[in-house]
Amino acid sequence: MSEQYTEFIALIKKKLGIDLSLYKEAQMKRRIISLRSKRGFKDFKSYYHALNNDATLLQEFTDRLTINVSEFYRNPQRWNVLQNKVLPMLFKNKRKINIWSAACSTGEEPYSLAIMLKEFFPNKEASIIATDIDENILKKAKEGVYQKQALKEMPKPLIDKYFKKENELFYVDTSIKHSITFKKHNLLADRYFNNIDLLICRNVLIYFTDEAKFEIYRNFSESLVDDGILFVGSTEQIFTPDQYRFSLYDTFFYQKRS
């Protein structure tokens, strides 16, 4: 790690509370240098000075740090498992469950969940917390307005029922929006939630170092109730789940052992 990059990430940690040393260096450095060059800065020192004095540049930088690629019912076969196997199991002895959608980006994931629950589990209750590190992205999530592309995997009857289309944009139904609490949360620094039955964190941890991933999975395990489920992304298989008290429940679903 170059001395100038080390200084830069120390300053960013102090300013934003985001520890970039816990992200894979090659990927993160490449992303930052690309953005820095695009804005015409030749080194990290001059770029940080600009970030420190320009709120628009700083917001652009923060947006670039966080990976905001999402869509409704991403990997639909996994959502089928969630609907037909995981949720029935979680509701078997409970009328209400607690769900945490971590690193929720622009909200497609928690809204997908809320729609599934309303449509297929109408007599059950769920508390859904959706979190992300980026306040700008959370603002977009709360608005609940999407392009058609984001809905390509969602069944059409659900689109017709839970979205209002205006000028080629799709607006999430108010009843669905009201069922989710959005909060800012940093997986690498903030306190985790407790008594979670279902924790969804997909396609995010691939950007972290092994040390950071270990801490996050350990904290996820602490967050979950016994027999609770962690749902991860398609590139995030946990190779030694037992060290976190997890066992494989289904592909990309892990259950916390009691």
Amino acid 128: pLDDT? 97
Residue 161 pLDDT greater than 90, yes or no: yes
| Of 79-88, 163-172, 228-237, minimum mean pLDDT range | 228-237
Mean pLDDT of 179-192: 94
Angle of helix 44-53 versus helix 3-16 axis, rounded to 10 = 20
Q: What are 41-89's pLDDT values in tens digits? A: 988 989 998 998 888 888 788 777 765 556 677 777 889 999 999 999 9
Q: What's the pLDDT at 67?
A: 57
146 has pLDDT over 70: yes
Quote the CA–CA distance of 87 and 231 in Å, as a whole number: 12
Q: Is 107 left (phi over 0), alpha (psi -120 to 50) or beta?
A: left
For the chain, give the mean pLDDT.
Answer: 89
